């Protein structure tokens, strides 16, 4: 069973992301968190395989969260979702070996990340 964690302070954005994910991978289990602290707790308590995180969140943003996750999970597929396509943001996304996905999330926009993640997990023996 593959588990994907959706992190966004907006409930609507979580619903939209969950919808796109379930359309692409109906069998994957979906968990949700509303901020970075909650996300780290969910990851500590559950076998999370993939993280899809919003960039602009109160307190700690999605890139800070991705950096924290990377420390313990160097190979975990992570997508950062944002409409903020500034060079510095994209550069940090790449430096963290994460994937940039444009907001608002659509099935088409998320598909390349999802298939890449599925492949990576298969290769990793998940």
Partner 1 sequence: MTVLVSLDELELDALTELVNIGVSRAAASLRKMVHKQVLLSVPAVEIVTRRSAAALIGQRETENLVAVEQEFEGPFSGRALLMFPESNGIHLVRAILGDEVSQADIIEMEREALAETGNVILNGCLGSMANMLQQGLTMSLPDVRRGTSETLFEIAAGHDDDSFVLFLYIDFSVLERDVRGYIAMIMDLTSLAVLKRLIASFIDRVTQEEM
CB of 29 to partner 1, least distance (A): 17
**Using rule CB under 8 A, residue 34 touches partner 1:** no
Q: Which region among 44-52, 62-70, 82-90, 115-123 touches partner 1 (by CB under 8 A)?
A: 82-90
Q: How far is CA 37 from CA 4, 13, 25, in A?
A: 17, 18, 26
Binding mask 93-122 for partner 1 (x = CB under 8 A): ----------xx------------------
Look-up: residue for tokens 């999970």? 73
Among 37, 85, 95, 119, binds partner 1 (CB under 8 A): 85
Q: How far is the CB of 76 from partner 1 (least distance, A)?
A: 25
Binding part of the chain for partner 1, among 15-23, 43-51, 66-74, 109-117 by CB under 8 A, reads 15-23
Region of 88 (left: φ > 0; alpha: ψ -120 to 50; beta: rest) is alpha
Cα–Cα separations (whole angstroms), residue 71 to 37, 97, 122: 15, 12, 22
Q: Does 12 bind partner 1 (CB under 8 A)?
A: yes
The residue behind tokens 């420390």 is 71
The helix-helix angle for 87-95 and 62-72 (nearest 10°) equals 10
Q: Which residues bind partner 1 (CB under 8 A)?
A: 9-13, 15-16, 19, 22-23, 55-58, 82-89, 103-104
């Amino acid at each position: 069973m593959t588990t994907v964690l959706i992190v966004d302070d907006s409930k609507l954005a979580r619903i939209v992301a969950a919808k796109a994910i379930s359309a692409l991978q109906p069998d994957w289990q979906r968990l949700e968190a509303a901020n970075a602290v909650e996300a780290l707790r969910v990851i500590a308590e559950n076998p999370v395989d993939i993280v899809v995180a919003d960039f602009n969140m109160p307190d700690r943003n999605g890139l800070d969260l991705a950096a924290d996750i990377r420390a313990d999970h160097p190979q975990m597929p992570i997508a950062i979702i944002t409409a903020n396509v500034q060079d510095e943001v994209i550069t940090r996304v790449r430096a963290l070996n994460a994937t940039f996905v444009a907001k608002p999330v659509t099935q088409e926009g998320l598909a390349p990340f999802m298939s890449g993640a599925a492949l990576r997990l298969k290769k990793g023996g998940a």
